[in-house]
Amino acid sequence: MLSLDFLDDVRRMNKRQLYYQVLNFGMIVSSALMIWKGLMVVTGSESPIVVVLSGSMEPAFHRGDLLFLTNRIEDPIRVGEIVVFRIEGREIPIVHRVLKIHEKQNGDIKFLTKGDNNAVDDRGLYKRGQHWLEKKDVVGRARGISNGTRES
């Protein structure tokens, strides 16, 4: 019933009005895309808004919460920060807290992470033989949170 009403409206339009509608639609879609891309530029992150997938940072983050990320390379990595990192060869990024850092004079840093809800640090998750993470593994820093829907 609803779809027939819509088609009647379209049939009543002339070519000009039809083009106008299509352009209008295109404007809306491109505005949304530009806002997203603009956010990517401002934050420096590939995915500035992500959803929490696992419960390894409970009770701070639950599955379904939204996280706002930035990825400014100049930001120094310090303990307590929540970093989003990717392990070489794995696709899914992990959001955990920095537990230990050792930084050399020239800025080279190696650090260890741990999920708040995990009993042990993340060395079990890293690649075989890898004991530390480096700056290149970081894809973002969690800067803001918004509660999402709760599963439980």
Partner 1 sequence: MNTVLSRANSLFAFSLSVMAALTFGCFITTAFKERSVPVSIAVSRVTLRNVEDFTGPRERSDLAFVTFDITADLQSIFDWNVKQLFLYLSAEYSTKNNALNQVVLWDKIILRGDNPRLFLKDMKSKYFFFDDGNGLKGNRNVTLTLSWNVVPNAGLLPLVTGSGHMSVPFPDTYETTKSY
Q: Which residues are catalytic?
A: 56, 96, 122
Q: Report, in Å, the least distance between residue 14 CB and partner 1.
A: 28
DSSP 63-121: TT-EEEEE--TTSPP-TT-EEEE--TT--S-EEEEEEEEEE-TTS-EEEEEE-TT-SS-
* Out of 112, 125, 133, 138, the residue judged to bind partner 1 by CB under 8 A: 112
Report CA-CA distances (Å) from 6 to 2, 3, 19, 26, 83.
7, 5, 16, 19, 48
- By CB under 8 A, residue 38 contacts partner 1: no
**Nearest CB to partner 1, comparing residues 14 and 152:** 152
- By CB under 8 A, residue 132 contacts partner 1: yes
Q: Report, in Å, the least distance between residue 19 CB and partner 1.
A: 28
Count of residues that bind partner 1 according to CB under 8 A: 29
- Which residues inside 66-105 make contact with partner 1, applying CB under 8 A? 78-82, 97, 99-105
- By CB under 8 A, residue 60 contacts partner 1: yes
- By CB under 8 A, residue 37 contacts partner 1: no
Q: Let me know: does 139 contact 105? Beta carbons within 8 Å.
A: no
Nearest of 95, 136, 132 to residue 111 by alpha carbon:
132
In angstroms, how far is CA 109 from the centroid of its own chain? Answer: 23
Question: Would you tell me which residues interact with partner 1 (CB under 8 A)?
Answer: 59-61, 78-82, 97, 99-105, 110, 112, 116, 121, 123, 131-132, 142-147
